[in-house]
Structure formats: structure tokens, C-alpha cells
Amino acid sequence: MMRMVLTLFMLSGTLLALEWEKDINTALKSAKKENKALMVFVESEHCPWCKKMKHRTIGDEGIEKRLENFVLVKVMREDPKAMKLLPPIQGVPTVFFLTEKKEVLEEVIGYFDVLDFTSYIGDVEKKLRAPLKTQTS
């Protein structure tokens, strides 16, 4: 009986888990195909704030629900190919919300708790609902 309860508990955690693309180019293609914006989470292997943000903030059930509307990709700061495809970063964790054309909607630098990160997601959602301004050279 205990084994069954443990199995159900583990399965419930995987049901809420978000799907993350492995590379930016694949994520951009998915974003175009699904007509969604992109959220890029830039982390570093030995960054304690990155781990904290992934588990406490992005792993929050409410945040996960809101992020279902985005194509998600994790990028390691140590990956030079991936970093060439992004705007310069000031530190990790950094989160970019991008259009499928790689236009930056919002940049979040550092650790943010659930409440603050929810506010950033709300800002991005407002920008996505607003008519996009075209820039002229």
C-alpha cells in the first residue's frame, strides 16, 4: 500500500512538470509553430540561486500553470553556442521572455520569488496582448 501511495505521489509531480526544449533554435521553431512566446532560463551549473529559482519559483504550481502558455528552454551560461543567440547577460539566473522573432519582451535578472515572478509574467502577457509596435530604421 505504501509503495502505491509513493508511486502516485511521484506521478503527480511529473504531471505538473513543464516541458523544456533542449536548445534555442528548436524552441524558436516550436514558438512559431504554436504561436507562443518563448521563455529562456539561463543558468549555471554551480549557481545556488539558479537551483533555488527553478525549484521554489518556477516549480510552483501556479507559475507552472502560467508558463504553459510559453515555449520553455533552459540554457547553460557555459554553452557558448547558445549564449551567442541571446542578448548579453549580466549574471545568472537570467530569464528572457522573447517573441518568436527573438524580440525581448522582458528580461529578469537574478532570483525572484513566486509573487515577484508572477508580476513579470503578467507584464509579459500584457505586452503580448497589446498591438506590437513596428520599429523603423
Tens digits of residue pLDDT in 79-108 = 999 999 999 999 999 999 999 889 999 999
Provide mean pLDDT across the span 34-49.
Answer: 96
Q: Is residue 92 part of a domain?
A: yes
pLDDT band at 17 (very low <50, low <70, confident <90, very high): confident
Question: What is the domain range of residue 29?
Answer: 18-129
Q: Is residue 113 part of a domain?
A: yes
Rounded CA-CA distance 46/43 in Å is 9
Q: Is residue 91 part of a domain?
A: yes
CATH number at residue 56: 3.40.30.10
Tens digits of residue pLDDT in 18-39 = 899 989 999 999 999 999 999 9
Q: Is residue 109 part of a domain?
A: yes
How many alpha carbons fall within 13 Å on the CB side of residue 2?
0
pLDDT at 137: 45
Total count of domains within the chain: 1
Q: Residue 13 pLDDT more than 80?
A: no
Q: Residue 136 pLDDT more than 90?
A: no
Tell me 58's DSSP state. Answer: I
Q: Is residue 77 part of a domain?
A: yes
